[in-house]
Amino acid sequence: MANICTGCGAALQSEHPEQPGYLPSASAQRESPLCQRCFRIRHYGEYVSAKVNPEEYHQRLSEIVKTKSLILYVLDVLDLSGSLLPQAADIVAGIPVIAVVSKVDMLPRDTHLEHMADWVRRVLLESGIVAAQVHFVSGRSGFGLEELIQEIEQQVPEKIYSLGMANVGKSTLLNRLMQAWHTKGEFTASPVPGTTLGLTGVEVQLSNGSRLSLVDTPGLWHGRRAVDYLCGSCLRQAVPQRSIRPRVYQIGAGQSIFIGGFARLDLVEGRFQGIVLYVSNELIVHRTRLEKADEFFHAHQEDLLQVPCANCTTRLGPLTTYRLTTRNQRFPNLFETDVLPISPQGRDIVLSGLGWITLSGSPLQGTLKVSQNISVTTRPRMIGDLNRERGWMGSRLH
Ligand SMILES: Nc1nc2c(ncn2[C@@H]2O[C@H](COP(=O)(O)OP(=O)(O)OP(=O)(O)O)[C@@H](O)[C@H]2O)c(=O)[nH]1
Ligand SMILES: [Mg+2]
Ligand SMILES: [Zn+2]
Ligand SMILES: [Zn+2]
């Protein structure tokens, strides 16, 4: 892998200072060259992302060596369905896969993970990926790393590749592994998607003495997550950065809840009930009467609700309306795609990149309005059903 930046894998060039891989020619001969963009991200904390489009992405990933390799398929625990890589099965093509669910330090402190593994395996299987193992880790705190390392060392691969959507934590994870194997080097990681741009690797020696290369790969840009559109200051406030403190609200018919300026949930009819928000602790949540909600939004979108700022609001697009219902009915309008049915066991409504709302399943009719470019999906309750399937035994997260 000559002439590439060791931090981000971009091809080095000395002609275009504003483009990826720029390195003034005088420094291009260094042993571990680092491009100017990586230097700025690391030393000045700049947010300089570059989109890798799908064609480029598949071209880069076609360099993956298929024999004696192992893939660490990295998924962001806050957005599992948004972490599924389209056509992952084609890329993987027979290479053994370990699913690594990252960022678990962001989950509330009393989350238990054991029984979520089956669910992750099921979700991956539906997308055509057979993951022999599912590991829950934090690249930030180091949680789960030891077990993952044991697993890798048992498999004795010659190459390990990270794989996953942009921003899920691939480079951070590999940096941790590198540290654990006492290897010098660092892949560039940053809070914005589109940090790693090409394949870049280092040689490491495992504790049993065998050598292998650890290869970081770019992520595929998503375009459906909040983080894909936010400026640095909105991102710091709206995208969870620390362990999420669940916020419980008791609401009844005729009430609305704003989640920053990103989303608004209106309970039109139904029982008085508790809803739980798993979003950034810094995000403003405001409850108001439904009849006042429009007026409130117009008056206070930019001051009380704080984020997104005007520029980010434009990029995120206007609010899209979804219908929430616990009624088990056939919808007369077959084209009504924006209905979110809530089963009696309750449901999580995931706002991609922001977190999720847990509804208990108590009867309700309502609407949810969410910025157009943020994808909205539902799943069984992650904390609750998936967590309690077989009791509360097991290790704690923190
Ligand atoms: N809290 C927490 N944050 C993490 C963890 N792993 C990564 N991050 C953060 O997530 C962001 C993205 O991390 P990266 O390692 O750059 O992600 P990536 O998958 O390599 O991203 P691309 O190179 O853009 O594809 C950074 O702000 C990291 O600090 C983790 O385990 N916990
Ligand atoms: Mg990366
Ligand atoms: Zn670089
Ligand atoms: Zn902004």
**Domains (ranges, CATH) in the chain?**
25-222 (3.40.50.300), 243-385 (no CATH)
Give the residue whose CA is nearest to atom 14 of ligand 1.
169
The predicted-structure confidence for 163-205, as pLDDT tens digits, reads as follows: 999 999 999 999 999 999 999 999 999 999 999 999 999 999 9
Percent of the chain at pLDDT exceeding 70: 92
Mean pLDDT of 141-151: 96
What is the residue with the minimal CA distance to atom 32 of ligand 1? 103
> Which ligand neighbours the alpha carbon of 37 most closely?
3
The Cα–Cα gap between 174 and 186 comes to 9
Please give the C-alpha separations between residue 115 and each of 55, 91, 105, 123, 246, in angstroms, as whole numbers: 37, 28, 17, 13, 20
Ligand 1 atom closest to the CA of 196, numbered from 1: 23
**Residue 308: is the preceding peptide bond cis (ω within 30°)?**
yes
- Is residue 9 within 6 Å of ligand 1 at its C-beta? no
Longest dimension (CA), the chain: 70
Closest ligand to Cα 22: 3
CA dist 354 and 170 (Å) reads: 19
- Ligand 1 neighbour 185 (Cβ under 6 A): no
Q: Which of 85-99, 108-122, 127-141, 239-253 has the lowest mean pLDDT?
A: 108-122
344-373 burial, b at 16+ Cβ within 10 Å, e below that, comes to eebbbbbbbbbbbbbbbbeebbbbbbbbeb
Ligand number nearest CA of 239 is 1
Q: Flag whether pLDDT at 396 surpasses 50.
A: no
Would the pLDDT of 2 be above 70? no
Q: Is the CB of 85 under 6 A from ligand 1?
A: no
Is the shortest distance between the CB of 325 and ligand 1 below 6 Å? Answer: no
Residue 391 has pLDDT above 50, yes or no: no
pLDDT greater than 90 at residue 88: yes
- Which stretch of 134-138, 144-148, 331-335 has the lowest confidence by average pLDDT? 331-335
CA 146 – CA 243 distance, rounded (Å): 21
Q: What number of H helices and E strands is found in the chain? A: 10, 17
Q: Is the CB of 172 under 6 A from ligand 1?
A: yes
